[in-house]
Structure 1
Amino acid sequence: MSQLDRKPGKSPAKFRLDKQDGKIAGVCAGLANYFGFDITIVRVVFVLGALLGFGSFVLIYLAIWLLAN
């Protein structure tokens, strides 16, 4: 999504995976675009959640990946 399509302070109408900026499936990049966060922050949250949350963030990641396809 280009910056021209996005209005400041507004989320896009629909969540989409961002496979261009994504590392594995584009889930973290898509979430960062949707909520307007930095991609690195979202990735760090997912890694820490996967390590400290006994793998629950891995299941969340997989669910988002499967549902957003």
Structure 2
Amino acid sequence: MDSIRSAFARQGFVRASDGRILGGVCAGVGRRFGIKPGLSRVIFVVLLMVLPGSQLLVYPLLWFLMPDEASIEIAAPGTPEGDVGA
């Protein structure tokens, strides 16, 4: 499981600690793609209307798989978790 979270973190997919409303998933995905958290939430809702139900499965899965931004900052340099942002 740690390897999956490390892979997400290397790609820049981390749950944001600022701008979060529920789990920080939309804010983190928005940050990854360079858009504001509000816009990423609007896109999420629009996709939910176009493809009903799929996001209700994807959001909890991303919440579980994406590491929290605070847990990555706490990790010491030289550890696999600490080298993620390097």
Pairwise same-fold verdict (TM > 0.5): yes
| Higher helix proportion | 2
- TM-score (normalizing by structure 2): 0.58
The count of aligned residue pairs is 58
Q: Which runs of 5+ in 1 are unaligned?
A: 1-11
Higher relative contact order (CA 8 A, sep 6+): 2
Deviation at 1:13, TM superposition (A): 4.9
- After the TM superposition, list the runs of 4 or more consecutive aligned residues in structure 1 that deviate by more than 4 angstroms: none
Superposition RMSD on alpha carbons, in Å? Answer: 1.8
Structure number with larger C-alpha Rg = 2
Match of 2:38 in 1: 40
Q: Secondary structure at the match of 1:44?
A: helix
State whether structure 2 residue 68 is matched by structure 1 residue 51: no
Structure 2 segments unaligned to the other structure (5+ residues): 1-9, 68-86
Contact 1:21/1:29, CA 8 A, preserved across alignment: yes
Provide the C-alpha distance between the structure 1 equivalents of 2:61 and 2:29, rounded to a whole number of angstroms. Answer: 13
**Within the alignment, does 1:17 sit opposite 2:15 as a pair?**
yes
Give the match for residue 75 of structure 2: none
Equivalents in 2 of 1:17, 1:43: separation in Å?
14
SS in structure 1 opposite 2:12? coil
Percent of counterpart pairs with the same letter? 31
Q: Which residue does 2:74 correspond to in 1?
A: none
Out of 51, 60, 65, the position equivalent to 2:58 is 60
Note if contact 1:29-1:39 (Cα within 8 Å) is conserved in structure 2: yes
